[in-house]
Amino acid sequence: MRLPFSRRALFAGVPLCVLVLVACSRHEPAPEPVRAVRTLKVAGDVAGGRYEFAAEVKARVESRLGFRVGGKILQRDVDLGDSVKAGQVLARLDPRDLRLGEDSARAALSSAQASHDLAAADYKRYQELLAQGFISAAELERRDATLKAARATLDQAHAQSAVQGNQAGYASLRADAAGVITAVEAEPGQVVAAGAPVLRLAQDGPRDAVFSVPEDKLALVRALEGQAGAVKVQPWGSSELLPATVREIAAATDAATRTFLVKADVGGAEVKLGQTAAVIVETPRIAGVIKLPLGALVELQGKTSVWLLDAQTMTVQAQPVQASGAEGNAVIVTAGLMPGQEVVTAGVHVLTPGQKVRRYAEPSAAAASAATAVTH
């Protein structure tokens, strides 16, 4: 059955009406909430940097002692941590081979002495024969050459005997100065070569605080080099600050850590070898800088920025700044801000340019304000 024209037109327009009604029923997006933020009014301040470096107390002179001859270690007379005196015997080698060498040199000296005495007696007799005319002058010259050769051989034997005597004496390792044994690198029964380290001796005397400095702080430390008391040393577990003087800075970085080794002289302070300490370096105090809490800074488009609050419109805008360091939990800002500006210090990571905000009020303060409004 065919529908009348008017009814067909009515049914054809139903989908269009439905679409229009659906379109009209869409809601507008909800406006962004007005966020509560903490703020701080910028004011000029005085700031100075303070850097701390981990250090270790070491002796000014620390020697690695070894025998001047090779051989087998017979005994070691000291242990790690022992205090020793200058000239004290620290270890001994097996001296038998050295004594045999000394005996051989002594026998060679006796032989050279006998040869020299014989050559001297012959020369004296030939002088008398020449005076009586029984020999020629050439013969006496030959005897003179023999005597000189015998004298040279005797001198050589004397020197060799002295060397062998010294070698035998080197079988005993002695302390060059008073100090403390800080390392043992060889044990009895071990065969060592000449010069191989056996013990390490930290000599008594001045102490150094040894620490490492990164490349970006080298110029700061180098400017203090040689200035008495320019840095402070705080021993571990103590609140005492000891004045120290930077006396030595490495010319090149360490291959592994890429840091420069620095030694600060603490003089005769009561510190222990190997003790951990902190070296404190303070930079000059600068007036007119601005300090902000660390949470006020945010990274926007690759720049360090803060959010400035416009008190009239209660909106925020991003402001790039330049930070030069930190002092405790505060960041030192050297460019980008002026005293009197209001900076957002909390809630910075959820803000957008032009966003409406309100100042955060403590719950107790907000409740008091509400109660006052109800009363009035």
pLDDT digits (tens, 9 = 90+) for 332-353: 777 777 787 888 888 777 788 8
| Res 376 pLDDT > 70 | no
DSSP code per residue over 317-353: EEEE-EEEEEETTEEEEEES--TT-EEEEESGGG--T
Which of these three, 282, 308, 329, is where a domain ends?
282
Asked whether residue 201 carries a pLDDT value surpassing 90, the answer given is yes
**Which tokens is 151 given?**
């004298």
| Residue 65 maps to a domain | no
Q: Are residues 238 and 308 in the same domain?
A: no
pLDDT at 22: 45
The overall pTM is greater than 0.85: no
Q: Are residues 270 and 241 in the same domain?
A: yes
Residues ≥6 apart with Cβ < 8 Å to 328? none
In a domain, 181, yes or no: no
The answer to the question of residue 293 being in a domain is yes
Is residue 275 domain-shared with residue 309, that is, in the same domain?
no
| 242 shares a domain with 301 | no
Gyration radius from the chain CA atoms: 45
Residue-level pLDDT at 318? 83
Domain termination residue (choose one: 153, 169, 185): 169
Statement to judge: residues 112 and 165 lie in one domain: yes
Rounded Cα distance between 223 and 217, Å, is 10
| 16: in domain | no
- Domain count along the chain: 3
Q: What tens digit of pLDDT does each residue of 163-189 get? A: 888 888 899 999 999 999 999 999 999
Tell me which of 22-36, 137-151, 178-192, 287-301 is least confident: 22-36
Asked whether 264 and 246 are in contact (CB, 8 A), the reply is: yes
pLDDT for res 20? 45
> DSSP alpha helices (H): ranges in the chain?
5-12, 14-24, 96-132, 137-169, 218-222, 363-375
What domain range includes position 343? 35-47+286-366
Measured distance CA(165)–CA(39) in Å, rounded: 85
Residue 172 tokens read as: 């005993």
pLDDT of res. 287? 64
Residue 16 pLDDT > 70: no
Q: Is the pLDDT score of 246 beyond 90?
A: yes
* pLDDT, mean over the chain: 82
Domain endpoint, select from 244, 262, 282: 282
Which residues, at least 6 apart from 110, have a Cβ–Cβ distance to it below 8 Å?
none
